[in-house]
Structure 1
Amino acid sequence: MPICFAARKKRAVFALCLVFLCSFSACGLRKQNESQATWLTVGTADAGGSMYANGSELAAAITARDEGLRFNLKASTGSPENLRALLSGEVDLALITADIAAKAKEESGGEELRVIAAIYPSVSHWMALRESGITTVSELKGSALAIGPENSATEHASERVFEKLRFPETGNYYYAGIGHGAELVERGEVKAVHALAGVPTPGLKKLASTKDSVLLRYESAELDKILSGEAEYFPTVIPKGSYPGQEEDIPSFGVKCLLCVRADMDENLVYRLTKHVYESLPELVASNPSFAGAEDKSFYLEDLPLSLHPGALRYYQEQGLTEDKER
């Protein structure tokens, strides 16, 4: 019996050693794979909006297809900050709304901007508490409002709305990220919060889940005025059911959110990224309403305000998606 017990003990110790060895080897392999991966930093926005969440989902979808590509997400105040970070080399890729990109290409350094694709639509939302009794954007005139981070695409859109709807040039307007702006509405410190973001927007969804809230409508004539002032804006709706308590479609306007790179990024790397982005779109559309319509060629590839990067153009041409040499 003692000999048998000792033998069993030796086998158990040996088996345990094998487990540790295998675990150590697997861990070492993972670390080796990570060390050999190409790491890229992506400029997104604050967690209360959709840009950070959508950037995270896109990065995860690419890495699932190609473990040699890994991503760090950089939070920011949004498109203008992402633009500056991209051109300075602080980030490798950036999510930038088409209106900001279109203006930037005419400025110093803007000639270095290139695009891989339009990824999802950012849509204008105004949300207030239902108890306010307000139902339209024009009724907000003279109210305290959260208009987005300073120098953000949301603030830019807020300014266009105020201009076309003849709001006071100065007023109780608060610079606030979407999540913080929603908290200000909940606390009664502002009447409404504005977001130019994907549908649904996390910060607004949280507000509507916490307090009975309502999305405000633009009148048809008001939308026409807003759209006439911005070539990159387009009419759209926020579909009913996007937020708790939303029982009808809400007419609004949107803008394409672009995945941008610098012109000097390696062509083969951009080709690789473009392939994975393109192949990921159907599953992103199926799993996240914010990407709705993004796999439609007319959205992700046509009427872009920037030239495609040569690596992206080469991939699309090989797929028979474009014959254009250059924009």
Structure 2
Amino acid sequence: MFKTLCRKQLVYLLSSLFILTATMGLITPTAQAADTKLTFGTGGKGGYYFRVGDLLCKSFAQGTDGFKCRARTTDGPRENLPNLRSGKFDFVVARSDWAKSARGGSGFFKGKGADSSLRSLFSIHSEPLTVIARKGSGISLVNDLDGKRVKLGVSASRLVRQLPHQANWDTSAFNTFRPGDLSAQRKALCSGEIDAVARVVAYPSGWVQKTAQTCPIQLVELSGRQINSLVAGTDTLSKATIPANVYTGVTRSTMTFGYKAALLSSTNVSDNDVYAFVKFTFENLPQLGQQNPALRGLQPSEMIRDSMVVPLHPGAVRYYREQGWIK
């Protein structure tokens, strides 16, 4: 009798241990499941694209469960958009005009064909056409560029030459310069060899600030009926205002226009992953803005509207509908 009881107790004990072990075995893989790894294509390490992408990526990974995110330095849209299309990147930063070219298979992407998988998340900071004139040059408004000696960055050259009224200007002293010639342009502006430099650049720009500290400058107001028509005629452009006191000696705000940087993804990235990223970003936008000026003062209504040149990702649409921002 005693032996029978002992044997039954032993069987019961072993059965309990087996069940417990099996149960632990079932829950262990879930508890130790690998985090979803996301890769973010940005830009050069010293630029806005990398700093913004790295901040968003790290903040998202630290503030949510189940995700890891790594920002990669790149050559910008030339590298970001093809790698997004191939699946190497999950998110990228690119300017609105580059996004439109990739979506339609034009410009740099002409030989690659249209990217039908490209999707928008939201826009971030402006990259406006910024015209820096030397004080005393007689240039304060857009029409004052007529007949002046103006050096144009490549992107600025494309915008300036689109101005509807430019056919009536004397542009014989307008010249395009390469990105590597920035120091030479500052020297030429401050010495009086040229009257103005036009660049497409986010603010605050280190180059503009250094120029303002080298010689007195003023920013040229780019507004009026002609510019309104230009902006209204394309979805890649939007109006922008460079605030007062961003640069030394520039004590008034300056109206202008230009592109916006946008965060992009692909239909190959899951709706849930995009939803989680978008939700975290918008819910923490004030704190993120304190850490980077490119994210400061952004308004959700503009972020989901301006420069959205490709369709929204379904994961982003889900969050925006929850907030009542879109139908």
Structures share a fold, TM > 0.5?
Answer: yes
Asked whether the equivalents of residues 161 and 226 of structure 1 are also in contact (C-alpha less than 8 Å), the reply is no
Equivalences for 1:250-261 in 2 at 5 Å?
A: 250-261=254-265
For 2:267, the equivalent position in structure 1 comes to: 263
Inter-partner Cα distance in structure 2 for 1:260 and 1:124: 22
Superposed displacement of residue 47, structure 1: 3.4
Superposed displacement of residue 229, structure 1: 4.3
Superposed displacement of residue 38, structure 1: 1.9
Asked whether the equivalents of residues 118 and 301 of structure 1 are also in contact (C-alpha less than 8 Å), the reply is yes
Task: Call closer, same or farther: CA 1:319–1:134 in 2, change over 3 Å.
Answer: closer
**Does residue 145 of the first structure (1) align with residue 144 of the second (2)?**
no
Inter-partner Cα distance in structure 2 for 1:288 and 1:82: 21
Equivalences for 1:84-99 in 2 at 5 Å?
A: 84-99=82-97
Task: Call closer, same or farther: CA 1:163–1:268 in 2, change over 3 Å.
Answer: closer
Task: Call closer, same or farther: CA 1:306–1:219 in 2, change over 3 Å.
Answer: closer
**Does residue 309 of the first structure (1) align with residue 304 of the second (2)?**
no
Superposed displacement of residue 87, structure 1: 2.3
Question: Under a length normalisation based on structure 1, what TM-score does the superposition of the two structures give?
Answer: 0.70
Q: What SS does the aligned partner of 1:188 have? A: helix
Asked whether the equivalents of residues 186 and 207 of structure 1 are also in contact (C-alpha less than 8 Å), the reply is yes
**Does residue 186 of the first structure (1) align with residue 186 of the second (2)?**
yes
Of all paired residues, the percent bearing the same amino acid is 24
2:51 to 53, 59, 62: 53
**Does residue 217 of the first structure (1) align with residue 221 of the second (2)?**
yes
Deviations 1:191-235 (A, max 9, x none): 444333333223323332344332222252442353254333222
Amino acid at match of 1:84: P
Q: What SS does the aligned partner of 1:70 have? A: strand
2:176 to 173, 179, 183: 173
For 2:108, the equivalent position in structure 1 comes to: none
Task: Call closer, same or farther: CA 1:225–1:319 in 2, change over 3 Å.
Answer: closer
Give the aligned CA root-mean-square deviation in angstroms. Answer: 3.3
Question: Under a length normalisation based on structure 2, what TM-score does the superposition of the two structures give?
Answer: 0.70
Amino acid at match of 1:204: V
For 1:29, the equivalent position in structure 2 comes to: none
Superposed displacement of residue 316, structure 1: 3.0
Q: What SS does the aligned partner of 2:54 have? A: helix
For 1:243, the equivalent position in structure 2 comes to: 247
Inter-partner Cα distance in structure 1 for 2:286 and 2:97: 25
For 2:60, the equivalent position in structure 1 comes to: 62
Inter-partner Cα distance in structure 1 for 2:153 and 2:64: 39
Inter-partner Cα distance in structure 2 for 1:316 and 1:219: 32
Task: Call closer, same or farther: CA 1:234–1:39 in 2, change over 3 Å.
Answer: closer
**Does residue 126 of the first structure (1) align with residue 131 of the second (2)?**
yes
Superposed displacement of residue 237, structure 1: 1.7
For 1:24, the equivalent position in structure 2 comes to: none
Amino acid at match of 2:84: L
**Structure 1: which 5+ residue stretches go unaligned?**
1-32, 149-154
For 2:119, the equivalent position in structure 1 comes to: 114
Superposed displacement of residue 114, structure 1: 0.6
Task: Call closer, same or farther: CA 1:318–1:251 in 2, change over 3 Å.
Answer: closer
Deviations 1:110-164 (A, max 9, x none): 211111212232222122443655434542756352414xxxxxx1x53131232
Matched residues, number? 277
Q: Which moved more, 1:238-247 or 1:263-272?
A: 263-272
Inter-partner Cα distance in structure 2 for 1:257 and 1:61: 19
For 2:300, the equivalent position in structure 1 comes to: 297
Q: What SS does the aligned partner of 2:131 have? A: strand
Asked whether the equivalents of residues 117 and 259 of structure 1 are also in contact (C-alpha less than 8 Å), the reply is yes
**Structure 2: which 5+ residue stretches go unaligned?**
1-31, 106-112
Inter-partner Cα distance in structure 1 for 2:288 and 2:172: 40
Q: What SS does the aligned partner of 1:163 have? A: coil
1:275 to 279, 295, 303: 279
Inter-partner Cα distance in structure 1 for 2:77 and 2:229: 24
For 2:16, the equivalent position in structure 1 comes to: none
Inter-partner Cα distance in structure 2 for 1:53 and 1:194: 24
Superposed displacement of residue 258, structure 1: 1.4
2:212 to 193, 203, 208: 208
Asked whether the equivalents of residues 86 and 93 of structure 1 are also in contact (C-alpha less than 8 Å), the reply is yes
**Does residue 197 of the first structure (1) align with residue 201 of the second (2)?**
yes
Inter-partner Cα distance in structure 1 for 2:173 and 2:206: 28
Task: Call closer, same or farther: CA 1:322–1:218 in 2, change over 3 Å.
Answer: closer
For 1:160, the equivalent position in structure 2 comes to: 159
Task: Call closer, same or farther: CA 1:310–1:198 in 2, change over 3 Å.
Answer: same
Superposed displacement of residue 320, structure 1: 4.1
Task: Call closer, same or farther: CA 1:207–1:284 in 2, change over 3 Å.
Answer: farther
